[in-house]
Amino acid sequence: MVKYEPPLEKYSVNIREAIVGEGEKAIKIGGENTFPFHFFEGSLPNPPGLALEILDIQPENWAQWVLEPFQDVTFDPVRWAEKCVEVFGAEILCLRLLSTDPMGRDTSPREAARITKKLADSIDVPLIVWGTGTEEKDSQVLIEVARVCSGKNLLLGPVLKGNYGQIAKAALEYGHALVAQASMDVNLTKELNIALCKFFPAERIVIDTTASALGYGLEYTFSIIESIKQFALMDRDTMMQMPILADFGGDCWRTKEAKESKEQGIFWEAITGLTFLLAGANLLILRHPDALRLIKEMIS
Amino acid sequence: MALKGAEIIKRLPKTNCKECGYPTCFAFAMKLATGGAKLEDCPYLPPEVRAELEAAMAPPIKLVTIGTGDNALVIGEEEVMFRHEKSFFHETGIAILISDKESESDIEERIKGIKELHLERIGQKLKINLLALFFESGEKAKFEALVKKAHETTNFALILISEDTDVLFSGASLCADRKPLVYPITKENVSSAIPKLKELGTPAGVKGESIEEIVSLTSNLKDTGVEEIVLDPGSKNIREAVRDQTLIRRAALKKGFRPLGYPTISFPCFMYHDRFKEALAAATLTTKYAGIVVVSQVDKHFLSPLLVHRFNIYSDPRRPMTVEEKVYEISNPNEYSPILITTNYALDFFIVSGAIEEANIPAYLCIKDTGGIGVMAAWTSGKFNGEAIADFFKKYGVGDKVKHRKLIIPGVAKKLKGELEEELPDWEIIFGPLEASDIPRFLSEEWKQ
């Protein structure tokens, strides 16, 4: 009879390890030298980061099921953040500065930075700070946030092709990490990383490919993340070796399926998240605490 | 592992008789290697050489069929580890567990639920494939009654699960014409199972406590001529499942290791007792290579995310996904409702139609066939320019649907506006937002009637 030898594969490189936050509760993401869950042939020193999101304004049009857990705190982002940590056990948070949207309330960078600082000071877990994707305004807002929150090692994003320069300079000066975002394109991801790495340390960059929900483009995100991981590990492409973030909670809860029932919504978000972890994501931004809890229990 | 033409030619008669239809044996060998010709086209191949070549040229993961006719589940013949390298080909079969311990009315309720579940996505029906009938009652008659009921009242492909081999095969003989998967075939029962498997001609679900154990079982089965095999490495949680499924597929694809060259089955229904975790395990196994996943829940909220997930993972990344060209009516529009237009790239359709639903403003969404490519590329290639859209308007009588003359076009299609003003002079052409996520705000602000 033919003898079976487990066909193990070793890759001689590691995904870079990025650190978010400072002090005891700082978290490390990445650092693995193998594909997700491949504990049988490599090492994955850091579990994926699972963040809960907070808005700096009252949520609009949220399905009632996903609003419920936060109903008593949405009027105050600081209280909201505290509840995520104390009640829902979040180990990292993402503050979305939606109020700064120039098409919306257009809050000033100073005001946004003030709220961010207040929130960051009130919690002891790491913080991701997210703009509105508007290149010019985000640049002003994130630079001010970087300055005011100096030394907190925030993860600032999204940094785009059109605004990476100034934000990265501020992040470098005030000690923060960055999310480099290029939409659904492996080559653009690599280009942006190369541009950033000319003056910004690679180990402080996290990749965002932009993500879409189950049933609404999940497979595109899945395969982009999987191919970046493959380039990183098998082709040893140093400009693909940053940890990867997936941000999809909002897209999941906007679907008609999630709005139809609470349970289906949780399935929707948790399945989307776990599928991206299977592709190789190192950090997820989630909306519903039950989705966070389920994913955490499944992977522990 | 596929054989190269140069290796095949060594075993051919090399007489260049041309009876196969090719000018030389070499040309025939090259065609064989790429799958364009069949070994039986050569009349002079000694049977033992033919068998040897057939074995060497067989796909690395065998194709296995469970069930018959339109409802048969076909799994196996996968070619890649990562879907972006080519595609995953044969969708994971989703099976629903039904225990013979359940009361007759519960069983009927369950079967009814499964039959009534209809889901559609981009014109494709998403469906449950199999019923997994589980001998749990300890009473053979109950199991037989369940098999009969499933056989007589449904068309689903069947899996029979029984640790008691006698019960397993008495059930199998009741539905042998349906070609059920019998499970588990283990090291304990394999010798007694072989003659029955051969007699009934049903595929075998092989279970081992480890991959090594499976290897010895499948080798044994193959030697006796049982080749329709599905593997269960006995994984107990998703971490083990990812390990086992990865190693099995890798051994088959990358090492050409025949004893593991079969599709697999997995049991999220036995791994987790919480229904959320069961669903997450099923999604994990659909992503990571399982040929069949068996789950215990039949309600829509549990199954529809899984069916949609499978549809996503198994969609072909080489082909853009498209939706049908037509004017879609969203939330019952009337003659004052807005008209929007975009391409038939499935993602464009989903995102835009979802955003319109979110806006809660009824609308007509015109979907123009662009061969599944997005707005800008389609504009460049002439499939989404002024002329093409004007033709679309004529073909579908868009102007007759409404009393106004306003058309909302994708915000990115900068040059399209001028073209359309020329082609559709009665219409006011309005740019939609750059991002589909701004559509709800856009519609509620811009569309004041």
| Same-domain pairing of B372 and B287 | no
B154 interfaces chain A, CB cutoff of 8 Å: no
Contact B247 A39 (CB under 8 A): no
Q: What is the pLDDT of residues B194-230, one digit of tens each?
A: 999 999 999 999 999 999 999 999 999 999 999 999 9
The Cα–Cα gap between A91 and A152 comes to 15
Going B344 to B350 to B352 to B353, the CA torsion angle's sign is positive
The residue written with tokens 């997005």 in the block is B374
Contact B279 A278 (CB under 8 A): no
Looking at residue B414, what is its pLDDT? 85
| Same-domain pairing of B338 and B283 | no
Question: CA-nearest residue of chain B to A217?
Answer: B347
Contact B260 A226 (CB under 8 A): no
Q: Is the pLDDT of residue B122 over 80?
A: no
Contact (CB, 8 A) for A269 and A287: yes
Torsion region of B254: left, alpha or beta (phi above 0 gives left; psi -120 to 50 gives alpha): alpha
The Cα–Cα gap between B94 and B132 comes to 10
CA Rg value for chain B: 28
| Same-domain pairing of B296 and B380 | no
Contact (CB, 8 A) for B153 and B175: no
Q: Burial of A29 by CB count in 10 Å (0-12 exposed, 13-18 middle, 19+ buried)?
A: buried
Banded model confidence at residue A275, pLDDT cuts 50, 70, 90: very high
| Same-domain pairing of B144 and B190 | yes
The Cα–Cα gap between A151 and A169 comes to 14
Going by the DSSP 8-state scheme, the letter that residue B40 receives in this structure is: G
Asked if the peptide bond before residue B13 counts as cis, ω within 30 degrees of 0, the response is no
Q: Is the pLDDT of residue B231 over 80?
A: yes
What are the chain B neighbours of A222 within 8 Å (beta carbons)? 83, 287, 312-313
Tokens of A100: 């700064």
Question: CA-nearest residue of chain A to B257?
Answer: A4
Contact A215 B312 (CB under 8 A): yes
**Other C-beta atoms lying within 10 Å of the C-beta of residue A58:** 12
Query: Is residue B57 domain-resident?
Result: no
Q: Which residues, listed in sequence order, are joined to residue B293 by a DSSP beta bridge? A: B94, B266
Banded model confidence at residue B350, pLDDT cuts 50, 70, 90: confident
**Closest of B110, B84, B105 to residue B95, by C-alpha:** B110
**Closest of B252, B303, B358 to residue B110, by C-alpha:** B303
Contact (CB, 8 A) for A84 and A93: yes
Query: Is residue B52 domain-resident?
Result: no
What are the chain A neighbours of B277 within 8 Å (beta carbons)? 294, 297-298
The CATH number assigned to the domain holding B20 equals 1.10.15.40
Q: What is the pLDDT of residues A128-152, one digit of tens each?
A: 999 999 999 999 999 999 999 999 9
What are the chain B neighbours of A218 within 8 Å (beta carbons)? 309, 312
State the best of A134, A210, A219, A294 to mutate against chain B, taking most chain B CBs within 10 Å: A219
Q: Is the pLDDT of residue B1 over 50?
A: no
Taking the CA of residue B213 and the nearest CA in chain A, the distance in Å comes to 10
| Same-domain pairing of B216 and B355 | no
Chain A contacts in chain B segment 225-244 (CB below 8 A): 238-239, 242-243
The CATH number assigned to the domain holding B374 equals 3.40.50.11600
B376 interfaces chain A, CB cutoff of 8 Å: no
Higher pLDDT, A282 or B36: A282
**Other C-beta atoms lying within 10 Å of the C-beta of residue B386:** 20
The CATH number assigned to the domain holding B134 equals 3.20.20.20
Contact B257 A7 (CB under 8 A): yes
Q: What is the pLDDT of residues A213-255, one digit of tens each?
A: 999 889 999 999 999 999 999 999 999 999 999 999 999 998 8
Taking the CA of residue A173 and the nearest CA in chain B, the distance in Å comes to 33
Q: Is the pLDDT of residue A2 over 80?
A: no
B83 interfaces chain A, CB cutoff of 8 Å: yes
Write down which residue in B313, B337, B358 finishes a domain: B313
Q: What is the pLDDT of residues B169-184, one digit of tens each?
A: 999 999 999 999 999 9
**What is the tally of structural domains in chain B?**
3
Q: Burial of B38 by CB count in 10 Å (0-12 exposed, 13-18 middle, 19+ buried)?
A: exposed
Chain A contacts in chain B segment 279-308 (CB below 8 A): 279-281, 283-284, 287-288, 300-302, 304-306, 308
Write down which residue in B281, B313, B345 finishes a domain: B313
Contact B354 A1 (CB under 8 A): no
The Cα–Cα gap between A60 and B141 comes to 58
Higher pLDDT, B50 or A28: A28
Among A219, A295, A297, beta carbon nearest to B313? A219
What are the chain B neighbours of A290 within 8 Å (beta carbons)? 276
**Closest of A10, A83, A38 to residue A236, by C-alpha:** A10
The Cα–Cα gap between B91 and B74 comes to 8
Q: Burial of A108 by CB count in 10 Å (0-12 exposed, 13-18 middle, 19+ buried)?
A: middle
**Closest of A155, A182, A259, A179 to residue A213, by C-alpha:** A259
Residue B234, CA distances (Å) to A265, B129, B264, B372 in order: 31, 22, 11, 41
Torsion region of A284: left, alpha or beta (phi above 0 gives left; psi -120 to 50 gives alpha): beta
Contact B276 A266 (CB under 8 A): yes
Question: CA-nearest residue of chain B to A215?
Answer: B308
State the best of B81, B312, B321 to mutate against chain A, taking most chain A CBs within 10 Å: B312
CA Rg value for chain A: 19
Distance from the Cα of residue B101 to its chain's centroid: 31
Q: What is the pLDDT of residues B6-43, one digit of tens each?
A: 888 888 999 999 999 999 999 999 888 887 888 889 99
Tokens of A290: 């039950």
Taking the CA of residue A224 and the nearest CA in chain B, the distance in Å comes to 8
Q: Is the pLDDT of residue A97 over 50?
A: yes
Query: Is residue B321 domain-resident?
Result: no
| Same-domain pairing of B36 and B110 | no
Going B337 to B340 to B344 to B348, the CA torsion angle's sign is negative
Among B255, B259, B283, beta carbon nearest to A271? B283
Q: Is the pLDDT of residue A175 over 90?
A: yes
What are the chain A neighbours of B259 within 8 Å (beta carbons)? 2, 4
The Cα–Cα gap between A262 and A271 comes to 14
Q: What is the pLDDT of residues B246-303, one digit of tens each?
A: 999 999 999 999 999 999 999 999 999 999 999 999 999 999 999 999 999 999 999 9
With b meaning 16 or more CB within 10 Å and e meaning fewer, what string describes B400-412?
ebbeeeebbbbbe
Torsion region of A209: left, alpha or beta (phi above 0 gives left; psi -120 to 50 gives alpha): alpha
Query: Is residue B179 domain-resident?
Result: yes
Question: CA-nearest residue of chain B to A63?
Answer: B358
Contact A2 B258 (CB under 8 A): yes
Tokens of A155: 């993860």
Distance from the Cα of residue A218 to its chain's centroid: 16
Mean pLDDT check: name the lowest of A255-264, A280-289, B140-149: A255-264
Q: ipTM of this model?
A: 0.97
Query: Is residue B97 domain-resident?
Result: yes
Mean pLDDT check: name the lowest of A161-165, A279-283, B404-408, B437-441: B437-441
Q: What is the pLDDT of residues B46-98, one digit of tens each?
A: 988 888 888 888 899 999 999 999 999 999 999 999 999 999 999 999 999 99
The Cα–Cα gap between A167 and B418 comes to 37
**Closest of A252, A276, A251, A273 to residue A264, by C-alpha:** A252
| Same-domain pairing of B264 and B368 | no
**DSSP string across A144-179:** HHHHHTTTS--EEEEE-TTTHHHHHHHHHHHT-EEE
Main-chain phi, psi angles of A206, to 5 degrees: -120, 135
B216 interfaces chain A, CB cutoff of 8 Å: yes
Among A36, A254, A275, beta carbon nearest to B283? A275
Write down which residue in B260, B286, B313 finishes a domain: B313
**Closest of A77, A100, A42, A18 to residue A281, by C-alpha:** A18
Average pLDDT over chain A reads 96
| Same-domain pairing of B335 and B370 | yes
Q: At what angle do helices B104-116 and B140-153 cross, to 10 degrees?
A: 30
The residue-averaged pLDDT of A272-299 equals: 98
Contact (CB, 8 A) for B299 and B128: no
| Same-domain pairing of B160 and B23 | no
| Same-domain pairing of B14 and B70 | no
| Same-domain pairing of B248 and B332 | no
Structural domains of chain A sorted by starting position, each given as residue range(s) with its CATH number in brackets: 17-299 (3.20.20.20)
Taking the CA of residue B222 and the nearest CA in chain A, the distance in Å comes to 11
Distance from the Cα of residue B316 to its chain's centroid: 10
Query: Is residue B55 domain-resident?
Result: no
Query: Is residue B54 domain-resident?
Result: no
Q: Is the pLDDT of residue A1 over 80?
A: no
Contacts of A121 (CB under 8 A, 6+ apart): none
Contact A218 B301 (CB under 8 A): no
Query: Is residue B187 domain-resident?
Result: yes
What are the chain A neighbours of B353 within 8 Å (beta carbons)? none
Among A227, A278, A299, beta carbon nearest to B288? A278
| Same-domain pairing of B308 and B338 | no
Residue ranges making up the domain that contains B11:
5-46
Tokens of B277: 């975790």
Banded model confidence at residue B2, pLDDT cuts 50, 70, 90: low
